[in-house]
């Protein structure tokens, strides 16, 4: 049966508990499982690093909503990224990353993986020819974020998938900003989807987590092997919270998008704003590609402030309903200064972000209250 997104989010991997009929998968706070004779595992469970029923429910649901063969849940988005990269890369391999990659992803390449012999080059992913030209014989992965954090750049997933596959490389898409409701990279040719489930998938700013969804069962099996071998798994309570969030992803995302569109309207006509970065704007260079591959344009909005860095920092400090804080994708609106906060680790690198940039994670509060707060913060 071809079920819809909302049905899958609420039911995939979540059959009623066979013993009690509980309609929500219980939190299996357990590390080990009784065996019926040596090697006689019940339903395959042996030790909770390898598998835990609460985590299995989340993993099956993630695979279903992304349209992949296998989902895996991790302790954080970066733990998922690290496990993926140490599964598919070896010393001597090369990776292309976005030239405005999330700061933590950049740091993972620059400060950790490079020391283990995995090299990387930042490329402008919006420029398909530049990506093709940057591919080397040792390139194993093209790493895509779309929309990017924090500049909301757009990459053409299908075009990049064909470049990666021609080169014998994998296409990995960090789908954190879009969420599986707005964009489904596997259907566009991605081999692996990455999430910081801390963000829209969890959706309530109450749990840190990460996920990988593999398009093929074979790659899923290799990743699962490394998930167990490396051990950065999601705990049962974290998996349960994340799954609870995932059930309402579709309705939350629609409201995030509605509110973001109103915020963009306000910013676009504000005299203190020099540029609004939002893929839903027709003048955004990635608008057409975004319209082709996304259901809507998301809840993240960035903008540049007249008056430079100090003025941008002031806007962040004056906001009240928009909470000054890192992270994104929760029901509450957040504001931040990427240059000094989330992207401080990219300072002095090719990934440095403009100093006058402010990033908003537009939440699902009453939109009039959000607009009033932004107006007073801009002064």
Ligand X SMILES: Cc1ncc(COP(=O)(O)O)c(C=O)c1O
Neighbours of 282 (CB within 10 A): 7
CA distance 268 to 302: 11
Nearer to ligand X, 78 or 249 (CB): 78
DSSP strand pairing (334-336 vs 357-361): antiparallel
- Known catalytic residue at 199: yes
CA distances to 281, 284, 344 from 239, rounded to whole Å, are 36, 36, 30
Identified catalytic residue from 99, 174, 238, 373: 174
CA distance 39 to 290: 50
Nearer to ligand X, 58 or 208 (CB): 208
For the CB of residue 307, give the shortest distance to ligand X in the complex, in Å. 27
Bridge partners (DSSP) of residue 360 are: 301, 335
Task: Name the residues that contact ligand X, by CB under 6 A.
Answer: 76-78, 102, 104-105, 145, 149, 174, 176-177, 196, 198, 208, 210
Nearer to ligand X, 208 or 276 (CB): 208
Contact (Cβ atoms closer than 8 angstroms) between residue 100 and residue 125:
no
- Known catalytic residue at 136: no
Nearer to ligand X, 59 or 174 (CB): 174
CA distance 159 to 319: 40
Q: Which residue is nearest to ligand X (CB)?
A: 77
For the CB of residue 69, give the shortest distance to ligand X in the complex, in Å. 22
Nearer to ligand X, 54 or 196 (CB): 196
For the CB of residue 16, give the shortest distance to ligand X in the complex, in Å. 30
Identified catalytic residue from 28, 33, 45, 102: 102
- Known catalytic residue at 140: no
Q: How does DSSP assign 22-73, residue by residue?
A: -SS------SB---SSTT--BTTB-BTTT--HHHHHHHHHHHHHHT-SEEEE
- Known catalytic residue at 238: no
For the CB of residue 193, give the shortest distance to ligand X in the complex, in Å. 11
Identified catalytic residue from 199, 296, 304, 359: 199
Angle (nearest 5°) at CA 91 between 88 and 95: 60
Contact (Cβ atoms closer than 8 angstroms) between residue 144 and residue 88:
no
For the CB of residue 108, give the shortest distance to ligand X in the complex, in Å. 9
Nearer to ligand X, 13 or 338 (CB): 338
For the CB of residue 326, give the shortest distance to ligand X in the complex, in Å. 7
- Per-residue tokens: 201: 């998938």
- Per-residue tokens: 264: 């963009």
Nearer to ligand X, 228 or 327 (CB): 327
For the CB of residue 335, give the shortest distance to ligand X in the complex, in Å. 15
Nearest in space to 214 (alpha carbons), one of 159, 176, 170, 154: 170
Contact (Cβ atoms closer than 8 angstroms) between residue 214 and residue 70:
yes
- Per-residue tokens: 21: 């009929």
Query: Which are the catalytic amino acids?
Result: 49, 102, 174, 199
């Amino acid at each position: 049966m071809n079920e819809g997104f909302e049905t899958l989010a609420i039911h995939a991997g979540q059959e009623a508990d066979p013993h009690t009929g509980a309609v929500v998968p219980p939190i299996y706070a357990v590390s080990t499982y009784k065996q019926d004779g040596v090697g006689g595992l019940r339903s395959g469970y042996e030790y909770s690093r390898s598998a835990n029923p609460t985590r299995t429910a989340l993993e099956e649901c993630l695979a279903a909503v992304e349209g992949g063969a296998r989902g895996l849940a991790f302790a954080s988005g970066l733990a998922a990224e690290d496990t993926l990269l140490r599964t598919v890369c070896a010393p001597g391999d090369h990776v292309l990353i976005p030239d405005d990659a999330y700061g933590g992803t950049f740091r993972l390449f620059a400060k950790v993986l490079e020391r283990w012999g995995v090299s990387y080059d930042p490329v402008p992913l919006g420029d398909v020819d530049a990506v093709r030209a940057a591919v080397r014989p040792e390139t194993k992965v093209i790493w895509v974020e779309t929309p990017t954090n924090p500049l909301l750049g757009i990459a053409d997933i299908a075009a990049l998938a064909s470049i990666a596959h021609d080169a014998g490389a994998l296409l990995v898409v960090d789908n954190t900003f879009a969420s599986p409701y707005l964009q489904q990279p596997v259907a566009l040719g991605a081999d692996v989807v990455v999430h910081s489930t801390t963000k829209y998938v969890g959706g309530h700013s109450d749990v840190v987590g990460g996920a990988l969804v593999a398009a093929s069962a074979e790659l899923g099996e290799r990743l699962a092997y490394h998930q167990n071998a490396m051990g950065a798994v999601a705990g049962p309570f974290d998996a349960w919270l994340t799954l609870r969030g995932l059930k309402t992803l579709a309705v939350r995302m629609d409201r995030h998008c509605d509110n973001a569109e109103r915020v963009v309207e306000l910013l676009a006509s504000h005299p203190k704003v020099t540029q609004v970065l939002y893929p839903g704007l027709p003048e955004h260079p990635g608008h057409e590609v975004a319209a082709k591959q996304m259901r809507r344009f998301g809840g993240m909005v960035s903008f540049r402030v007249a008056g430079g860095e100090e003025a941008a920092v002031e806007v962040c400090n004056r906001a009240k309903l928009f909470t000054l804080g890192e992270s994104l994708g929760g029901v509450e609106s957040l504001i931040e200064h990427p240059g000094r906060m989330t992207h401080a680790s990219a300072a002095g690198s090719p990934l440095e972000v403009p100093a006058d940039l402010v990033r908003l994670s537009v939440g699902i509060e009453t939109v009039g209250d959000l607009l009033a707060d932004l107006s007073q913060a801009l002064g």
